[in-house]
Amino acid sequence: MAKKDLKAYLDYLKSDPLYASAEIKIHEDEEHRFAKLIVKYRKEIVALGEEVDFSNRGEYITPHEWKEKLDNRDDDTIVIDVRNNYESEVGHFEGALKPDKRTFREFVEYADNLAKMENKDKKTVLMYCTGGIRCEFYSPVMKERGFDNVFQLQGGVIAYGLKEGKKHWRGKLFVFDDRLVVPIAEGNDETISSCKFCKKPSDVFYNCANMDCNDLFLSCKECAKEHKGCCSDTCMSAPRVREMDQSDGRPTPFRKLPFEKKKALQSCSLNL
């Protein structure tokens, strides 16, 4: 999309009262990172698994206020990364609690466990996620469990990187498009994660080439090639293994195969 077309579209959105106050974050990139437009209806925008009272959510703080709170953080301040473990693995704020959770639904149990701490009503809770949406759901959960001083980073890590840079941030940012991992600001080139096989520094994600697994895993290019794009030896020997992306750039998520290729793989697995 050309910049003039993007501006016209944003002006159109802002002219509608429903979207006039929407916070729009723009990341420029040299390539088109969205293969096609997909619109789906979902009862829950994020699957938390319990009803949420949005009138009881935490207080918004701007990226600048967030940075100041981290500058002056004390022992009664808790910083919570409200993202999945594979996201925090490649990047997070310094000193943040990083729940070892694979899905957002598991965070309710995590809140229950945090609620057992002493003097929780005296704690200051700072929470963040990629763009701010998950904090909208999780801050009421924390307040309902007795945490009175709950703050959420307005606009998420994306807004923080655009407005305040990389101070207090380690690593890079996981995003849910073809880029997968990006720097949050200029000069943000630190890698804190490692290849699951050889343990060399790597923040490159692959989808397992086994179609019946498709799990995300971190790997260096050499190990990914050696394992044929699979996350394990078991997946390497599976009947439905796709050809891995061996391009020089970062691999992109697997797309659904054309019907003909699906049939060919199914036929191959039946013959085995």
Radius of gyration from C-alpha coordinates of the chain:
21
**What does the alpha-carbon distance between residue 128 and residue 197 come to, in Å, rounded to a whole number?**
30
Catalytic residue, chosen from 129, 208, 220, 223, is 129
By CB neighbour count within 10 A (0-12 exposed, 13-18 middle, 19+ buried), where does 142 fall?
buried
The single-letter code of the amino acid at 94 is E
DSSP labels for 180-236? -EE-SSTT------B-TTT--B---EEE-SBTTT--EEE--HHHHHHTTT-SSHHHH
Gap between the Cα atoms of 58 and 132, Å rounded: 11
129: annotated active-site residue: yes
Residues with catalytic roles: 129
